[in-house]
A = this chain, B = another copy of it.
Amino acid sequence: MSRFIRLDMSTKKVSIGETPEKYLALGGRALTSQFVLDEVPATSHPLGVKNKLIFAPGLLSGTNAPSSGRLSVGAKSPLTGGIKESNAGGVTSQKLASLGIKAIVVEGKEDKGSYILRVTADNAELIPADDLAGKGTYELTALLKERYSEKAGVICIGPAGEMKMLSAGITNNDSEGNSSRYAGRGGLGAVMGSKGLKAIVVECDKPFDAPVQDKERFKVAAKKFAKILMDHPVTGEGLPKFGTNVLMNIINEAGTLPVRNFSTGRFDGASEVSGEKLAEVAIERGGKATHACHPGCVMRCSNAYPMPDGKVCSPIEYETAWCFGPNLDISDLDVVAKLNYICNDVGLDTIEAGCTLGVLMEAGVLPFGDGEAAIKALEEVGQGTALGRIIAAGSELAGRVYGVTRVPAVKGQGIPAYDPRSCKGNGVTYATTPMGADHTAGYAVTANILKVGGYVDPNKKDGQIELSRNLQVATAAVDATGLCLFVAFAVLDNEEGLPTVVEMLNAQYGLELTIDDVTALGQQILNNEREFNANAGFTKADDRLPEFFYEEELEPHKTKFELKDELDEVLKF
C-alpha cells in the first residue's frame, strides 16, 4: 500500500491515508507540481494558511537504482511567488520510499509553537518541540538522532526558516548525519517555518526497501545503468574525482564565470577556489575529496572540507564556491567554506545568499573582496537583524531595498554560476523555467561548454532555444524519478541511457512506459507549473533576463544576451 500522509498544522491532526489514484504513478517533481497545482490557490499568500508544503521521494527512490535518492519538496514559493520544486540528496528520500510513503503534505498554519513530525514504519505523530526552536540545523539534527534513532533521517529547517526568511531552505542529512543536503532554492524553508514545523524525523533503517514488482528485471537494468554512469568521463571520472567544483576552472576558462556581481567573465583567483584545490586541501587536512550524498550513489561528487576552526563543511558545491568566491571577488577557500557552513547551519540557500551579498557589495554596503565583512554580515541572518533579514530576503529584494539596478535575478530568484551572456543556453533556461533562475532546470552547460550531448556555441543565440527546451523537458522527467540530475551527462551521450531508466521504472512499477511517455511526463510537469504561474499572475514579461544582461557586454567574449521574443517559444509544446 502506498501511503499519503497529511499533517494539518492548524488542527495538529495527522492523517495517514492511501495515496489517491491520481497520484499513484507520480513521484518527485511530477507529484509535487501536480499537487500544488491541484490544491494551492495560485494567488494565496505563500506564508499563509492556504499554502501547502509537499515532500515526495522520486519514483525510483528507495531502490538500488544508482544515484536515485533525491527528495522533492514543493509549494508556492515565497521568494518567486510562483510554483516551486526543489530537490535534494541525503538519506530521507530513500527512507520515506522504503516506508512506502508516497508523500507528506503539510497544510494549515501555526504561528507560535514549534513541532516535530515523527514518522515510523506504521505511524506518523506530531510532537511539540518548543525546546528545539531556534536551533541550528547541525545541532538540531544531532539532537533528534540522539533522541529518536541514530539511523533516523532528519528533514529540518534552521532559524532562517523559523523566521520565515524568503530564501530559507529545507535540509536533510547525509549518511554521516551532516545536515547539509538542501532543497535550498525558493524559500521552502520559510513555508515550513510558517507552519511551525521544525523537523520531520524519518525512522527507517533500510535505504533500499521500496517495493519492486519484477526484482530480477530491475536488478539487470540497475546494473546496466550503473555501468553507463561509470563509463562516462563526467559521471565516471570528473565528478567522482573533484566533485562539482571541477567546473570552476572549466567555466573560468570558458569566460563565463560571473565575477564581482556579474561584471566580468574571468577571475584571476579561480584556481584558488577550484575543485582541484579543494581536493588538495581537504585531503591534507584529513577530509574527503569525494563523498556520496546518499547511499547508492556511484558518482560521489560531494566532499568534506575541514575548516581551520575544526568544523567540517560538507559539501562545497561548485555553485556555492562560485557565489561566495568569484562573485564576491574572494579567492580564499576557507572563507568560502565558512560562508557555506553558516548557511547550512542557519538554514539558508547558499546560491541566493551569495547573489545577495554580491548585490550588497554592488550597493557599497560592504566591500568586494572582503571575506571578513561577508562572514560578519552573513552571521547577522541568525541574529535576525535588519541587515540579516535583507540578506535572507534574497538578491532581488535586497536590490530593491538598496536601489540597485544590476541585480542578477529572474522571477525573484538569483542567477547561478554561469553568466547567461557567454552560456546563452543557460540564459534561456534562467529566463523561462517556471522555477525562477535555476541552472538545474535545463543545464545547457552540457552542450554549451562541456560538449556533452552535442555542441552549441555558448556565445551565439543559434540553437539555444531548442537546447534549453529539450533539457527542461528531460530535467522535469528526471526530477520525477528521484535520479540525480547528473545522470544526464551520461544519458545524453549514451543512447542506451534513457531506455535503461525507462526499463527500471517499468520493472519497478510493472508498467510498459516508452521513451515518448517520459517526454510527455516532462512536458506535463512543465505545463502544470506554467499553469500555476499564469494563475498567480506571471506573464511573458517574467520570462526575461534583467536589463543589464541585454545592455552590458561581458568580457572576455564581449557578449550581450540578445534573446527576447524567442523566449516565448521555449516551453510551447
Contact = CB atoms under 8 A, between A and B. Distances in A.
A514 interface: no
Contacts of A397: 397, 400-401
Interface string A369-405: 0000000000000000111011001000100111101
Nearest to A407: B45
Interface in A154-172: 163-166
B389 A402 contact: yes
A177 interface: no
B44 A403 contact: no
A181 B400 CA distance: 26
A48 B536 contact: no
B537 A541 contact: yes
A50 interface: yes
Contacts of A400: 78, 166, 393, 397
A43 interface: yes
A387 B43 CA distance: 29
Interface stretch (A83-91, A332-340, A542-550): A542-550
Contacts of A547: 43-45, 48, 50
Nearest to A166: B400
Contact of A403 (B163, B536, B538): B163
Given A539-B539, A547-B44, A401 B401 contact: yes
A117 interface: no
A190 interface: yes
Contact of A387 (B165, B386, B405): B386
Contact of A165 (B194, B403, B535, B539): B403
Interface residues of A, number: 41
A42 interface: yes
**A contact patch SS:** loop
Interface string A403-431: 10100000000000000000000000000
Contacts of A163: 403
A403 to B, nearest CB: 3
A538 B49 CA distance: 25
Contact of A541 (B50, B389, B402, B535): B535
A264 B523 CA distance: 47
Contacts of A43: 541, 544, 547
B546 A403 contact: no
Contacts of A390: 386, 389-390, 401
Contacts of A401: 166, 389-390, 393, 397, 401
A403 B164 contact: yes
Contacts of A165: 403
A405 B47 contact: yes
Contacts of A389: 386, 390, 401-402
Given A386-B386, A390-B389, A400-B397, A48 B166 contact: no
A359 to B, nearest CB: 13
Contacts of A193: 403
A387 to B, nearest CB: 4
A539 B537 CA distance: 6
A527 B320 CA distance: 46
A394 B544 CA distance: 25
A190 B166 CA distance: 25
Nearest to A193: B403
B45 A405 contact: yes
A186 to B, nearest CB: 14
Interface in A189-203: 190, 193-194
Nearest to A542: B537
Most chain B CB within a 10 A radius of its CB, from A50, A166, A385, A389: A389
Given A42-B541, A43-B547, A537-B539, 16 more contacts: A43-B541, A44-B547, A45-B548, A48-B547, A78-B403, A164-B402, A164-B403, A193-B403, A385-B386, A386-B389, A389-B402, A390-B401, A393-B401, A537-B538, A537-B540, A537-B542
What 5 A-B pairs are tightest by C-beta distance, nearest first?
A: A164-B403, A537-B541, A386-B386, A386-B387, A537-B539
7 contacts: A43-B544, A45-B548, A164-B403, A194-B405, A386-B390, A389-B402, A393-B400
